[in-house]
Structure 1
Amino acid sequence: MRKHPASTHIHTIPFEKVQVHQTAIKMAKSTSDIFMSIKPEHMQNIASGSKNHEYRSYLLPPSIKHIWFYTTSPIKRIEYVARVSPGKIPGEVPDDGGIGNAEFNAGLKEAKYGYEILALWRLKMPVSLEKALVEGVLKGAPQKYCWVSLDFLGRFLLDGQDLLFSRTDDVQLREEEGQYNRLHSAG
């Protein structure tokens, strides 16, 4: 029997290879987003706008744009994500009344770097620690910080979350987050 010249040969992929590929996609990490633990009282101050910088003793990689906050006990869930500035050193943070800003600028904090909260979203469906562990999103509560998977970002696009506030130009924020969402929804 002769094959028609326009016939197409279909290649099959073994199921095991498909599973490996799907696992690789699920485990691929973002270079712009991290999970970070935060105490409930500090998260509440950020959400209310009274704390406009998060202070840490370490400098985050310059590629970091978003911190997905894991709020510690008794809350124990990922509920907020912040767009942040690159790390600032004492003297670079405005004395605008934000909690901890004056102390940081005076060198009175243990923290050496401040990250301005440029925008803050609340997840419409927060992720409990238990669920994050079961789904492999986290291996435990973040001790310093850990990278967010591309799979997680694709499930929690920022344009689908509640924007609580933005301290940046709204047009710039929409453009940046639109590019961000397009990038992460493609995965």
Structure 2
Amino acid sequence: MATDILISIYPELMPKLESGIKNFEFRPFVINDDSITMWLYETKPTKLLNAVMNVKPAISVLSDNQHYGLGDNKFYEIINTGRVAYEITSFRWLDNPIDIKKIKTYYGLANAPQNFVYLQNYPKLLSDLKAQTQHQQSSLDF
């Protein structure tokens, strides 16, 4: 089974995700699935659903061959706040970002996600996003 979720990301983190320096995404929830796609809604001032990344299942300990691009000590500092880490395996920008107004009015989401939203609950949005990415080449696979 595959899980697609919508999460919010601060704009200042996007270049770090794109470059691969930020190679883990930390969240306060665990998604129990082997195939996880995180669709990224960039918060103020951008207010766009404009990128997607694939991640591995959640972990809380780095293996011997894993390192956090912003420092292993920082990894454990974040984990100690009660979060888990999802290793990012690919990141790509969407060719046709979706603004918050369309997300609310056309797709029916009340607000941008505070934690996360299962996109399976919004089949039209998920279908449109997947159709868009099928025509794109992955810009960054890590």
The alignment's TM-score, normalised by the length of structure 1, stands at 0.65
Report the CA distance between 1:71 and its aligned residue: 0.7
**Which of 64, 70, 74 lines up with 2:45 in the alignment?**
74
Aligned to 1:152: 125
Closer, same or farther: CA 152–111 of 1 in aligned 2, 3 Å: same
2: CA distance, partners of 1:42 / 1:62: 25
3-state DSSP of counterpart to 2:112: coil
1: CA distance, partners of 2:91 / 2:108: 21
**Which of 85, 94, 101 lines up with 2:66 in the alignment?**
94
3-state DSSP of counterpart to 1:141: coil
1:164 aligns with 2:126: no
Q: Give me the CA root mean square deviation.
A: 2.1
Q: Whose relative contact order is higher, 1 or 2, with alpha carbons under 8 Å and at least 6 apart?
A: 2
2: CA distance, partners of 1:40 / 1:73: 7
* Residues 58 and 111, structure 1, Cα contact 8 Å, conserved in 2: no
Per-residue displacement from partner, 1:100-130 (whole Å, max 9, x unpaired)? 54321xx312253111111112111000111
Report the CA distance between 1:44 and its aligned residue: 2.0
Runs of at least 5 residues in structure 2 that lack an aligned partner in the other structure: none
Runs of at least 5 residues in structure 1 that lack an aligned partner in the other structure: 1-29, 168-187
Larger radius of gyration: 1
Report the CA distance between 1:161 and its aligned residue: 3.0
Q: Which amino acid in structure 2 is aligned with residue 142 of structure 1?
A: P
* Residues 79 and 127, structure 1, Cα contact 8 Å, conserved in 2: yes
3-state DSSP of counterpart to 2:126: helix
2: CA distance, partners of 1:91 / 1:40: 26
* Residues 42 and 48, structure 2, Cα contact 8 Å, conserved in 1: yes
Larger relative strand fraction? 2
The count of residues paired between Structure 1 and Structure 2 equals 135
Aligned to 1:142: 113
**Which of 55, 65, 68 lines up with 1:84 in the alignment?**
55
Report the CA distance between 1:152 and its aligned residue: 1.8
The alignment's TM-score, normalised by the length of structure 2, stands at 0.83
Among the aligned pairs, what percent are the same residue? 27
1: CA distance, partners of 2:39 / 2:71: 21
Larger relative helix fraction? 1
